[in-house]
Chain A
Amino acid sequence: MMDAETLAVFRAEAEGLVESLESNLLALKDAPRDRALIDGAFRDLHTLKGTGAMFGRADIASFLHDFETAFDRVRDGSVEVTPDLLSVALAARDHVVALLSAEPAEGADRAGAAILSRLAALMGTPAAPGAAPDAGPWHATFRLPADTAALGGRPELVLEELRRLGARTIRARTGDVPPLDRLDPVCLYLGWEAEIDATATEDDIRGAFLFHEDGLQLSLTPPAAPDATAPPPRGPEPPQHRAPALMRVPAERLDEMMDRVGELVIAEARLNELAARFGDPGLVAVAEDIQRLATAMRDNTMSIRMTPIGAITGRFRRLVHDLSRELGKPLALEVTGEETELDKTVIERLADPLMHLIRNAADHGLEPPAARAAAGKPEEGRITLSARYSGAEVLVALSDDGGGLDRDRIRARAVERGLLAEDADPPDDALWKLIFEPGFSTAPAVTELSGRGVGMDVVRRTIEDLRGTIDVASAPGGGTTVTLRLPLTLAIIDGLLIDVAGERLVIPLAAVDEIVELPDSLADDDSGNAFLDIRSSLVPFLRLRRLLDSEGQPGAHQKVVVVTSGEGRVGLVVDRIIGSNQTVIKQLSPLHSGIKTFSGATILGDGAVALILDVPQLVARGRSDTDCQGEAAA
C-alpha cells in the first residue's frame, strides 16, 4: 500500500488534474471545436493516467487508458464533440473521482465498463478488446541467478517472453549494481519488475522462467490485489504538462503560516511600544524596519490565501449542466467577476450555499420552457453568478430571469407557519427574508433537488457564520437576485483603535468613511436628535457608551466615526481616537460568539485583548432603529 504521505501527494495531483479535465470538458460544451480545449482535455487524461500508473493505481490507469484511447478519436478529428459525448465524458470523470476515493463503491468495475462501452459506442469503435478492461495487471518482481550469463542464459529472452504475454511495463532494478571498479562483467546484478496484463495466467508467467528456476527469486502478485504485497512500482516520471511556477500546498500549512504572521504582527506592535517608550534612535529604527517587514509579510501571506472565486465556479457549471438535463429545462449559467478574490476559508465555505441557491433558482425560480415562451422570454433560462468588490466586502449575487418570488404564497405560508400575523403586511424585502427560515418552503411539490425547505436556512446560517449578510430582491416576472455580502478576510485587517470609557475597541478601517467632531449640541445623552448633518446628508448615529453599557460620563470632544456597510452609513460616537493598528482577528469562542455586536477580538501591543466591532451589524442596527423612529413619527 502507499503510505499516507504518498497517497496525499497522489490525491492532490489527481484532484487538480480531474478539476482541470472537468473545466475543459465543460468549456467544450460552448466551443465544441476548440482545439486548445480538446488538446487540454486529452493532456489531462494522459497525465492523470500517468500519475495513476506511477502511484501504482492500476485500476485508474487502466480505465483512463481506454478513456484516452476513445478520446483520441476526438483529437484526431474523426469524431465531433456532441452534448452526449460530453455527458459520457463527465460521467467518466465522475468515475475517476469515485476510484480516487478511499474505498471505491461496490460494482465500480462494472460501472466503469458501462461508461467505457457507452463512450466506445459514441466514438464508433468497438469496446476495448480482451478481458474486463479495468482488471489490474499482474505485478512480477524477479531476479535471475547471478551466474545466469556465465552459464549461457539470456535474460533478454525472458523479457521478450513476458512482453509477448502482455507486459505493459518492464523496469530494471539497478540498486545492486556495484561501482565500476568492482563490477564483474559476467555477473548479473540486475533485477526487474513488470506489469503484465491480467489476460496472462500464472502458469504462463511462471513458464517464462522455465530455464532459470534454480536460484530464481520471483514474487508474483495476482491482478485482484494489485498492490497488496508488491511495493508500488516506481519508474521515470511521465512527462508532465503543468504551469511551471505553480505549487500545490496543503491548506493547513497556509493556516499555520497565517497564525505565525499573526503572532509576528502582535510582537511587532509590542516592540513598537517599547521603542517609543525608550526613545532610543537605534531601537526606533529597528522597530520601524520590523514593522515594514511585518506589514509586507502580512500582505504576502494574505495574498497567498486569497483565492479567486473562479476556483469554485467550475463545479457550478457542472451543476447547471446536470440540472438542465434532470429538470428538462434549457439552462445557461453566466459567471462574471470570477477573478474576485476572497480569503480561502470564505471561498471554501461559500460553495455549499451557492450550490443551494443555484438549485433553488433552477428548480423554482426559472419557469418551464413553455411558460417562458408564453411570457415572451427566451426558452433558455439564465442564471447569473456575479462577484465584485465593495469596500471591505465582496458582493456575490446570484440572479435568475425567472418568474420572481410569489408574494402572496410566501405571505400565506408565513402566516400558516406563525411567522406573520394574519393582518401583517411587511415590505417586500422583509417578506423575502422569510424564505431563509428553517423549513420554509412554498414549493407545491418536493423534488429530488429542492422543495424540502432545508437548503435556504443552511444558506443563511453559513453566511452568518462568515459574518456576512443576505439581501433578496425580486420582481414579479422579472426574476430574483440574492446578494451575499461577505467580509474580504477573516484573518488580519487594518483597524482603527478607539477608546470608549477607558476601554479600547477596534473598528475595521476599511469600513471607516470619515471621522468628525460630535457637535456640542448633541454631546448630551438626552438630546433628542437622532441624526448628524454631515455636508447636508443625514447620518444616524449610535452612542457606543450606551451600546456597550459603559460607566461614567463622557468628557468633552467626543468623536463620531462614520462607517459604511453596503448602502448604509452610521456614525459611532466614541470618546477618543487612539490610532490605526494591524489587527489580527481572533474568533470568539462559542461562549461569546452569540454576541453579534462583535466580530472577533484582537491582542493589542501591550498584550491586552480588544474587541472588534461588527460594522454590518451596527449599520443594520442604526438603520432599523431609524426606521422604528420614522414609523413612530409617522
Chain B
Amino acid sequence: MTDAAQFPGAARDVLTFRLGGEVLAVAATQLREVLEPAPVTRVPGAPAFSAGLINVRGAVVPLADLRVPLRMRHTPPGPDARILVLDLPLAGQQAIVGIHADAVHEVTRIGPADLEDIPTVGTRWPPRFVAAIGRWGGHFVTLPDLPAIFADFLSGQSGRSHLPGPTAAGQQDLEIS
C-alpha cells in the first residue's frame, strides 16, 4: 500500500508510541483505547506473533506483538508498557486486537509534508509492512501497515490446524504416555 493511498493528502491524527527502541504510530481512527498491562492468557500452540489473549471489557481479544513481523528485539516490559486496543479488519471482518507498546507518547498530527518516501533499501523492515514514514519531533516515526501485517500472518496461518507438531515447534508430536 502506498502512503498516498492511506494518507491521501490530508493531515492525520496518529498516536505515537515506542516499541523495540523505535517510534511507531497508528492512526487515531484505528485506536479504541490504551490499557495498562493486563493479565495475558497464553494460547498453547499459537505462534509468537499472537501468543496471548486479554480481557477488554468483557470481550476476549487477541494480543499481537508487532516486534515479531517487524523483526525488532524483544525487551522485557518496563513500567511504561501499555496495550493499544485497535479496530482492524481481520479476514474480511472488523475485529478488535491488542498490540504491545513499550511506552505511549502522544496523539499528534502528521501532515503530508511530514511524510517521507519509504526508502527501498536500508530499512530493516519488510517494506510491505510499512505504510508510511514521517517525522515527529526530531524522530522518524514509522506507520506500520497493520492490515497488511495481519493479513500476511493469517494467510500463513491457513495451513495450520493443530498444535505444534514435529515440524512446527521441533517437538515430539503428542502421544499417549
Q: Give chain A's interface residues, CB within 8 Å of chain B.
A: 262-263, 266, 503, 522, 525-531, 540-543, 546-550, 586, 588-592, 594-598, 601-603, 607-611, 621-622, 625-626, 628-629
Contacts and interface: CB of A to CB of B under 8 A. Distances in A.
Given A603-B58, A625-B174, A629-B176, A591 B44 contact: no
Interface in B1-51: 39, 41-46, 50
Interface string B83-99: 00000001101010100
Nearest to A603: B55
Nearest to A600: B60
A622 B54 CA distance: 30
Contact of B44 (A541, A548, A594): A548
Contact of B174 (A547, A589, A609): A547
Interface stretch (B69-77, B120-128, B134-142, B154-162): B154-162
A418 to B, nearest CB: 17
Given A589-B90, A592-B50, A609-B54, A546 B163 contact: no
B41 A601 contact: yes
A391 B57 CA distance: 33
B167 interface: no
Nearest to A259: B58
A601 B45 CA distance: 15
A26 to B, nearest CB: 37
B162 A596 contact: yes
Contacts of A547: 44, 163, 174
B61 interface: yes
Given A588-B62, A621-B174, 9 more contacts: A550-B44, A591-B150, A595-B163, A597-B162, A603-B58, A607-B55, A609-B53, A609-B55, A622-B176
Contact of A589 (B41, B42, B45, B62): B62
Contact of A526 (B55, B60, B90, B177): B177
A541 B176 contact: yes
B63 to A, nearest CB: 9
Contacts of B95: 589-590
A590 B93 CA distance: 9
B43 A611 contact: yes
Contact of A592 (B62, B162, B171, B175): B62
B160 A594 contact: yes
B113 interface: no
Contacts of B161: 594, 596
A601 B58 contact: no
Nearest to B59: A586
Contacts of B176: 530-531, 540-542, 622, 625-626, 629
A525 B62 contact: no
B164 A625 contact: no
Contacts of A527: 177
Nearest to B61: A589
13 contacts: A542-B174, A589-B60, A589-B61, A589-B97, A591-B64, A595-B43, A595-B160, A595-B163, A607-B55, A609-B53, A611-B44, A625-B176, A626-B176
A87 to B, nearest CB: 41
A543 B177 contact: yes
B37 to A, nearest CB: 13
Nearest to B176: A530
Nearest to A606: B39
Contacts of B91: 590
A273 B174 CA distance: 36
A542 B177 CA distance: 7
B19 to A, nearest CB: 19
Interface of B: 39, 41-46, 50, 53-55, 58-62, 64, 90-91, 93, 95, 97, 150, 153-154, 157-158, 160-164, 169, 171, 174-177
Contacts of B55: 603, 607-609
A120 to B, nearest CB: 50
Which of B61, B163, B164 has the most chain A CB atoms inside 10 A of its CB?
B163
Contacts of B150: 591
Contact of B45 (A525, A531, A549, A621): A549
A354 B68 CA distance: 43
B97 A591 contact: yes
A278 B176 CA distance: 44
Which 4 pairs, one residue from A and one from B, show the smallest C-beta to C-beta distance? A530-B176, A548-B44, A590-B91, A609-B41
A598 B59 contact: no
A542 B173 CA distance: 12
Contacts of B39: 607-609
Contacts of B62: 588-589, 591-592
Given A596-B161, A596-B162, A549 B154 contact: no
Contacts of A625: 174-176
A609 B60 CA distance: 7
A610 B41 contact: yes
A595 B168 CA distance: 13
Contacts of B45: 548-549, 595, 597
Given A596-B162, A608-B39, A611-B41, A591 B153 contact: yes
Contacts of A607: 39, 55
Nearest to A584: B58
Contact of B41 (A540, A546, A549, A608): A608
A586 B158 contact: no
A235 B24 CA distance: 64
B90 A591 contact: yes
Contact of B171 (A542, A549, A597, A601): A549
A528 B53 CA distance: 35
Given A609-B55, A629-B176, A549 B163 contact: yes
A520 to B, nearest CB: 14
A628 B173 CA distance: 12
A603 B60 contact: yes
Contacts of B54: 609
Contacts of A503: 41-42
Nearest to B52: A609
A403 to B, nearest CB: 34
Nearest to B43: A592
A602 B41 CA distance: 11
B157 to A, nearest CB: 5
Nearest to A595: B45
A549 B44 contact: yes
Contact of B60 (A542, A543, A601): A601
Contacts of B158: 594
Contacts of B175: 625, 628-629
A445 B116 CA distance: 60
A258 to B, nearest CB: 13
A540 B175 CA distance: 10
A601 B46 CA distance: 14
Contacts of A262: 58
Given A542-B174, A547-B174, A625-B174, A594 B60 contact: no
Which of B43, B95, B162 has the most chain A CB atoms inside 10 A of its CB?
B43
A329 to B, nearest CB: 39
A528 B176 CA distance: 8
B90 to A, nearest CB: 5
A594 B58 contact: no
Contacts of A548: 44-45
Contacts of A628: 175
